[in-house]
């Protein structure tokens, strides 16, 4: 049953491709894979290793992410595009009506909810805080060790899309994203278990987000009033498998000796994206000092920096992530 997404001329001028993998979407979709029995072999090693590493806070979140069907829209806020901490901050600020609406929908369509979901649906701040901490803990444990690999695959996908966009325009890009995304102007048909319906974007445009952990079919948010996004599977090469980058000492003294203790801490914490204030807090320095070190890392090509509303977001580049994994600059460029 397809979803038909109607794009006006204004919408076509507002089609955007994501600039980095979204840690909130990857967290949710990886939870689906973790609890599924038939996801592709590329996830096999990750799926065997991850359950034993998850703490109680991370495990709680799995109860809100059944392997099939609906998952709450509030778990993947638009702010996740700017990195983990921005996404977690948006989760903390979720209005009570959104929590109640999404959890009611989950209870209607999915398995029984845990007892603590009632307090969450009531907007209890402690329940929301525990939810946010659980999402952060899940990402740091289940995804952060693999983020360099995910980031490099995303960068390859984004580069290919950039070439298509330059050569064939928006229509060419929409026509080549995924076999289950069919573009027949002015409608993008999303095939999959989304329920047959029509979504008119009304000039809002749409974000195109390739995802490492999206498998099978593309997905969208259930609520049509939320910022439109189409999340679709990356193409995985045959025979590849997701493994952590264990070459070197990601958090050890070798990296600190190379770039200094504070810069190493800032680079590590920029995986997934963080604001200057969040980096300062994580590294135990002032925001001014964190900003200075982030600038040095940016000049070295290890982080990118962009403004997101009133904040400045710093994200580790594939080269920076490779350095965290112990590879030299020459090796990172080669592979």
pLDDT tens-digit map of 106-156: 999 988 999 999 999 999 999 999 999 999 999 999 998 888 788 878 888
Beta-carbon contacts of 28 under 8 Å, excluding residues fewer than 6 positions away, are 65, 71, 75, 76
CB 79 within 8 A of CB 89: yes
* DSSP string for residues in 33-51: HHT-SS--GGGHHHHHHSG
Q: Which residues of 139-161 are buried (b: 16+ CB within 10 A; e: fewer)?
A: bbebbbbbbbbbbbbbbebbeeb
Is this model's pTM higher than 0.85 or not?
A: no
Q: Is the pLDDT of residue 283 over 80?
A: no
pLDDT given for residue 250 in this prediction: 41
**Per-residue confidence band for 244, with pLDDT thresholds at 50, 70 and 90:** confident
What single-letter DSSP state applies at residue 233?
E
> Which class does domain 253-334 fall in?
mainly alpha
Residues of the chain with CATH 1.10.10.10: 253-334
Q: Is the pLDDT of residue 298 over 50?
A: yes
**Per-residue confidence band for 327, with pLDDT thresholds at 50, 70 and 90:** very low
281 burial level (CB within 10 Å; 0-12, 13-18, 19+): middle
* Integer Cα distance of 24 and 129 in angstroms: 16
Beta-carbon contacts of 262 under 8 Å, excluding residues fewer than 6 positions away, are 283, 285, 289, 293
pLDDT given for residue 324 in this prediction: 80
Six-digit token string for 49 = 């290793």
CB 62 within 8 A of CB 288: no
* DSSP run (H or E) holding 200: strand 197-200
CB 97 within 8 A of CB 67: no
**Per-residue confidence band for 64, with pLDDT thresholds at 50, 70 and 90:** very high
Beta-carbon contacts of 96 under 8 Å, excluding residues fewer than 6 positions away, are 122, 123
CA dist 32 → 62, 230, 235 (Å): 8, 17, 18
Average pLDDT value for residue range 163-186:
95
Q: Is the pLDDT of residue 330 over 50?
A: no
Q: Is the pLDDT of residue 331 over 70?
A: no
pLDDT: is 239 or 99 the higher one? 99
CB 302 within 8 A of CB 322: no
pLDDT tens-digit map of 214-233: 988 999 999 999 999 999 99
pLDDT given for residue 132 in this prediction: 96
CB 74 within 8 A of CB 99: yes
* Integer Cα distance of 116 and 56 in angstroms: 14
Average pLDDT value for residue range 235-259:
64
Residue with tokens 């959104």, as numbered in its chain: 98
Q: Is the pLDDT of residue 335 over 80?
A: no
* Integer Cα distance of 207 and 17 in angstroms: 6
9: Cα within 13 Å, side-chain hemisphere: 0
* Integer Cα distance of 262 and 77 in angstroms: 30
- Helices in 110-235 by DSSP H: which ranges? 117-121, 125-138, 147-175
pLDDT given for residue 51 in this prediction: 92
pLDDT: is 257 or 128 the higher one? 128
pLDDT given for residue 238 in this prediction: 65
**Per-residue confidence band for 254, with pLDDT thresholds at 50, 70 and 90:** low
**316 phi and psi, to 5 degrees?**
-65, 130
């Amino acid at each position: 049953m397809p979803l038909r997404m109607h794009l006006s001329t204004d919408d076509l001028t507002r089609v955007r491709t994501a600039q980095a993998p979204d840690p909130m979407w990857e967290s949710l979709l990886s939870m689906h894979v973790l609890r599924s029995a038939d996801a592709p072999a590329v996830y096999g090693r990750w799926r065997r290793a991850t359950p034993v590493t998850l703490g109680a806070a991370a495990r709680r979140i799995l109860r809100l992410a059944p392997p099939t069907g609906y998952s709450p829209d509030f778990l993947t806020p638009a702010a996740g595009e700017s990195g983990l901490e921005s996404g977690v901050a948006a989760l903390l600020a979720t209005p009570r009506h959104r929590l109640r609406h999404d959890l009611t929908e989950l209870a209607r369509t999915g398995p029984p909810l845990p007892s603590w979901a009632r307090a969450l649906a009531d907007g209890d701040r402690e329940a929301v805080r525990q939810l946010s901490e659980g999402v952060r803990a899940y990402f740091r444990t289940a995804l952060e060790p693999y983020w360099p690999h995910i980031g490099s695959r995303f960068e390859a996908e984004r580069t290919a899309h950039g070439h298509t966009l330059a050569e064939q325009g928006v229509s060419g890009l929409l026509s080549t994203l995924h076999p289950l995304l069919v573009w027949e102007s002015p409608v993008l048909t999303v095939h999959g278990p989304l329920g047959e319906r029509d979504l008119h974007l009304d000039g809002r445009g749409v974000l195109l987000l390739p995802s490492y952990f999206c498998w099978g079919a593309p997905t969208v948010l259930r609520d049509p009033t939320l910022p439109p996004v189409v999340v679709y599977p990356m193409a995985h090469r045959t025979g590849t498998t997701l493994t952590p980058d264990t070459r070197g000492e990601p958090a050890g003294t070798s990296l600190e000796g190379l770039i200094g203790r504070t810069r190493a801490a800032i680079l590590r914490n920029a995986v997934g994206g963080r604001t200057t204030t969040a980096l300062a807090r994580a590294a135990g320095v002032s925001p001014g000092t964190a900003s200075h070190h982030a600038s040095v890392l940016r000049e070295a090509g290890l982080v990118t920096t962009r403004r997101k509303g009133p904040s400045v977001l710093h994200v580790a580049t594939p080269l920076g992530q490779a350095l965290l994994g112990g590879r030299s600059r020459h090796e990172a460029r080669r592979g």
